[in-house]
Amino acid sequence: MYQRVNHGPVTFPPRAVEPAKRAVALLLVALLCSAATPSTSPPASTPAVPPLRVGTSADYQPFSLAAGSGGPKGLDIDIARRLALDLGTPVELVLFSWPDLLDRLGRHDFDIAMSGVTVRPDRAVAGRYTRPYATTGAVVLVRAADAKRFPSAGEVNRDGVRLAVNVGGHLESIARARFPRAAIEPVTDNESLPQRVLDGRADAAISDSAEARAWLQPSLRVLGPFTTDHKAFLLPAGNADLARRVDAWMVERERDGWLDRERRRWLGPGAAVDARAATRDAVSALVALRLGLMPYVAAAKRAAHLPVEDLAQEERVIARVRAAASAPERAAAVYRQLIDMAKAVQRQSPSVPAGPGLTALRGAIGRVDEQLLREIDRSPPLPRAEWQAALRRDVELPGITSDMRARLAEALARR
């Protein structure tokens, strides 16, 4: 299903353009428009360009929610429209359902997914993320009348508790991992979750802190948050040029304050983050993402009967980092700590069936590293304690110790 929004009336979408040609066209338009202000219109003689196709679920407020004839609205919809305007291209909203996100991404049904997409390792294997732009946490919704029955989120993990959750998204995976004893009830209508709890069709529902804020009412109680989840935009793995362009645009919108104003408008004053903190949080989130890929790496190595430690591969990584970073010594120091942490996670990872192979995983890690190195390069001077606090919040994996986080914070604080 498609909805074309050219900053005006809805029209039918144009004929499909091959993904590679589309990416090149979008990049050329971006370069031609980079010197223009957002209000500058292209000359009448400018040839038609393919729209920026934005994948959205339209069921996840306040990021993207269907809103009648005007089409979806929300934080990500506003960001998508401003991004396309600044790039000088129309925006085309492509609706997806959460269970189909990665399949649709792999088929290049859209150029970028902008719908409150949570940063997750499995999605990093399938595509590439931009810098994170918002942080939420998973919560449980229960009836206020059940406060004694469920004094904390952990009490939901009991036999016989009916726990409703939106099907196919990040929160379903959270529900199954955190509440294995509860009866998980995936639902296709995400907006029905609060009412399911209120009318007794479910004992509780999983949401997140941003969505729950929009749903909250006196008869509901929120338990949590009990996770830290970062939101970023997700692109097909091959869309490196567009990803870099979007990242650079996001950095500018952080610097001029526009992105933070949108965050506060849609997510509330508690979501305010200045440009300096946004870069710090991006580094910390990407560190967590890189380390989150290590259980997959451990499984792939076990399947191939390979040891955890591969000194030759480690040196290749360090050489690549030195070549790409603007401050090679600082970047190398950071990555030596990251490599030690990665091995610790691999050693503590349980034996699970192998998933992606090492080649695919190293490709995913390489894409994360491209993004992480850019964020490290642009990160401002910060004290070690500030880095350590961010890492303590984001990096919680088996094998990771407080001493490891402290050493990484020390490397990040280097100048």
pLDDT tens digits, 192-216: 999 999 999 999 999 999 999 989 9
- How far apart, in whole angstroms, are the C-alpha atoms of residue 342 and residue 206? 31
pLDDT at 79 over 80: yes
Task: Compute the Cα dihedral for 249, 375, 269, 120 and give only its sign.
Answer: positive
pLDDT tens digits, 304-355:
999 999 999 999 999 999 999 999 999 999 999 999 999 999 999 987 777 8
pLDDT for 44: 53
Lowest mean pLDDT among 37-51, 64-78, 94-108, 399-413: 37-51
pLDDT for 71: 82
Task: Compute the Cα dihedral for 280, 286, 291, 292 and give only its sign.
Answer: positive
Q: Which residues pair with 106 in a beta bridge?
A: none
Tokens of 60: 């996840």
Q: Which residues pair with 205 in a beta bridge?
A: 141, 164
> For the chain, which domains are there?
2-133+230-271 (3.40.190.10), 138-227 (3.40.190.10), 275-412 (1.20.59.10)
Tokens of 190: 């995400």
pLDDT at 296 over 90: yes
pLDDT for 130: 97
The mean pLDDT of 230-236, rounded to a whole number, is 98
pLDDT at 181 over 70: yes
DSSP state of 158: S
φ, ψ of residue 26 to 5 degrees: the values are -65, -40
The alpha carbon of residue 190 and the mean position of all alpha carbons in its chain are separated, in whole angstroms, by 19
CA-to-CA dists, residue 274 to 125, 188, 259, angstroms: 30, 36, 9
φ, ψ of residue 139 to 5 degrees: the values are -135, 165
Question: Rg (Cα) of the chain, in Å, rounded?
Answer: 22
The mean pLDDT of 216-228, rounded to a whole number, is 95
Tokens of 233: 């935009």
Q: Are 322 and 385 in contact (CB under 8 A)?
A: no
The mean pLDDT of 10-36, rounded to a whole number, is 44
pLDDT for 48: 77
pLDDT at 121 over 60: yes
pLDDT tens digits, 138-175:
999 999 999 999 999 999 999 999 999 999 999 999 99
What is the model's pTM? 0.87
pLDDT for 4: 47
